[in-house]
Amino acid sequence: MASELRPRAAWLALVALVVVVIGARLFAQVREAHAAAPLSESNGSIDLQDRLKDVEVERTPAGDFVMLSTSAGDERISADAFIERLWRAQRDVASHGWLYRVLNITTPFGMLWVTLGFAGQALFTGRMLLQWWASEKLKRSVVPESFWWASLVGGLMLLVYFVWRKDVVGVVGQSTGAFVYARNLVLIHRSRTAGA
């Protein structure tokens, strides 16, 4: 049984590595895009995924201004121009249809993040099917190595997704679990090398 699962675990490890590298790269790109200014704009429409609490507002005797990061660089716009662009962004989201509202995204790039989240959740849930299948096969309760790999990879994918969503509950939940999954994989590896 263990020898059958080793090739699967190797493939799962490779997939995990690819997913983590891609997820880290996507996360870095999003962070870079938001590093210049707390509010960003694309195609003349404000990205509603940004938090309004992070909007940089400058109050001057001449009026109120908002700092906006655009594809052309940082831009300082009036409060009225900001409200116009905000209205345009809300209209654009409504025109994208129900899927954007259901998934709580405002740009097509958000669809990639939601896909990453769903894939991570599918892998994380699939680990239970792996455990059930291995137990049924041996007619006793077992936890195969693939369970821990699926837990680790799915958990890391969800962690990256929750960081993008700025969901502190999800971040804490998935980051603490990653240590447990990694530790179990280390213990499995150590027992194999000690037995060999």
CA-closest candidate to residue 120, choices 178, 161, 149: 161
**CB 11 within 8 Å of CB 151:** no
**CB 146 within 8 Å of CB 9:** yes
Q: How far apart are CA 59 and CA 70, in angstroms?
A: 21
Q: How far apart are CA 29 and CA 128, in angstroms?
A: 33
What pLDDT, on a 0 to 100 scale, did the predictor assign at position 32?
58
pLDDT at 16 over 50: yes
What pLDDT, on a 0 to 100 scale, did the predictor assign at position 155?
92
- The tens digit of pLDDT for each residue in 22-80 reads 656 655 655 555 444 344 545 555 555 555 656 677 788 888 887 776 666 777 788 88
- The tens digit of pLDDT for each residue in 119-172 reads 999 998 999 999 999 999 999 999 999 999 999 999 999 999 999 888 889 888
Q: Where are the domains of the chain?
A: 2-195
Q: How far apart are CA 128 and CA 151, in angstroms?
A: 9
Write the burial class of residue 100 (CB in 10 Å: 0-12 exposed, 13-18 middle, 19+ buried).
buried
State the alpha helices, DSSP H only, in the chain.
2-35, 79-96, 98-103, 108-138, 145-165, 168-195
What pLDDT, on a 0 to 100 scale, did the predictor assign at position 37?
38
- The tens digit of pLDDT for each residue in 88-128 reads 777 776 777 788 778 878 777 888 889 999 999 999 899 99
CA-closest candidate to residue 154, choices 19, 4, 11, 32: 19
Q: How far apart are CA 191 and CA 132, in angstroms?
A: 23
